[in-house]
Amino acid sequence: MNKKTFSSFALSTILGLAPFQLYAQDTNTSQSNSSDISWSAVVKEAKGQTVYFHAWGGSQEINRYLQWAGQQIQQQYGVTFNHVKVTDIAETSARLLAEKAAGKNKNGSVDMVWINGENFKSMKENALLHGPFVTSLPSWQYVDKSLPIDVDFSVPTDGLEAPWGVGQLVYIHDTATLNNPPTSYSEMLNYAQAYPGKLSYPKPPEFHGTSFLKSLLIELTENDPSLAKPVAEADFAGVTQPLWAYLDAFHKVAWRGGKQFPAGTAETLQLLDDGQLDLAITFNPNAVFSAQESGTLSETTAAYAFDNGALSNIHFLAIPWNAKAQAGAQVAINFLLSPEAQSRKGDITVWGDPSVLETQYLQGSAAKSQQFKSVAEPHPSWQAALEQEWLKRYGS
């Protein structure tokens, strides 16, 4: 069996530059004097505050981008912006729950969080979030309202978190060695059996590993309607049976015999570059470009989605209910939603994170960001259930 026998996927990009517009208020957008005064009061209150922003710290590109953003926020608003690097935002959720239990309703230790999915659901249910605040941000006018920004893993956001970027689960391959990669999970299993040891996925509960499980389950069950609802214990075994059967077969022919798994997306990229894996996984369709720019991946690599589409979601920014610097956090989020900040974030040589703004407000490569057909996330309760069962079966 030859790698060339697999059906090809044409990598597409959306071309066309849009004129850059500063994040200052659009003259065509009407805002009442009272809202102008209200936002001015927020900016005035924010000056001199220090914002502690809890966010994943596992990417050098993201960390460098946040350093730049912090410099801009300090220069333009007099707000100090500190990126508190965490490995899992669930750590921050636990901290906020502890502060809630202790009755610490003011001067909290966290001012701003990068969240979505299960963590948002948990924070919302436990009343850990400030708001609604999102539509009062001047930069809200630039957001693409056609995106699914009102729900987070099927949970209504209710203005408690601001959309920041678009995530899509895609794969990266080297066109020099694999022109026609598998375009479904069925083909992926066939490929793994034909070329043992050349495919794998990150170990759950790492975010990309769990996303792999959800995406696989959606295809195997033809997106069973129960996946959009809270997981029911009585139905879980039956719905997920095809998943475990698939993984039992896949692990036998996976990288290192399914006894060991990459730690995350960064390791899959390294293993792809080393020639140990034929596919790497990422939740950013533009990650391939920044990796090429930094020399992490060959210029012959490309990103693609399976034929059914890419598991997709919006990632968000939120403010805890007891944040000490609530005004500073709003100013920081407003800046991060500005065309200036979103254009830089979407620059494929900087981060390449697809923007949540309308394309007309973006400049450079951010305006050409590629996006694939979307597949909606399951209800967030499926995440923990899948992780627990995976660990029980394969975690030792």
| pLDDT average, residue stretch 14-31 | 36
pTM, 2 dp: 0.74
CA distance 388 to 396: 12
Least confident of 16-30, 36-50, 154-168, 347-361: 16-30
pLDDT reported for residue 36: 66
Q: Which two structure tokens, joined as six digits, stand for 170?
A: 């895609």
Burial label for 20, CB within 10 Å (0-12, 13-18, 19+), is middle
Contacts of 90 (CB under 8 A, 6+ apart): 118, 119
Return the higher-pLDDT residue of 318 and 59. 318
CB 137 within 8 A of CB 336: no
| pLDDT average, residue stretch 353-374 | 87
Q: pLDDT (tens digit, 9 = 90+) per residue, 172-196?
A: 999 999 999 999 999 999 999 999 9
Least confident of 304-308, 325-329, 364-368, 383-387: 364-368
CB 243 within 8 A of CB 217: yes
Return the higher-pLDDT residue of 217 and 147. 217
pLDDT reported for residue 85: 94
Phi, psi (degrees; rounded to nearest 5) at 151 = -135, 150
pLDDT reported for residue 332: 98
Q: Mean pLDDT in the chain?
A: 88
Q: Does residue 34 register a pLDDT over 70?
A: no
Phi, psi (degrees; rounded to nearest 5) at 236 = -60, -50
Phi-psi region of 127 (alpha: psi -120 to 50; beta: other; left: phi over 0): left
Q: pLDDT (tens digit, 9 = 90+) per residue, 257-292?
A: 999 999 988 899 999 999 999 999 998 888 888 788
pLDDT reported for residue 7: 35
**Percent of the chain whose pLDDT exceeds 90:** 69
- The pLDDT confidence band at residue 116, using thresholds 50, 70 and 90, is confident
Looking at the domain covering 33-165+314-369, what would its CATH class be?
A: alpha beta
Q: pLDDT (tens digit, 9 = 90+) per residue, 191-250?
A: 999 999 999 999 999 889 999 999 999 999 999 999 989 999 889 999 999 999 999 999
CA distance 226 to 229: 5
Give residue limits of the domains in the chain: 33-165+314-369, 168-312+377-394
Task: For domain 168-312+377-394, give the fold.
Answer: D-Maltodextrin-Binding Protein; domain 2 (3.40.190)
pLDDT reported for residue 14: 29
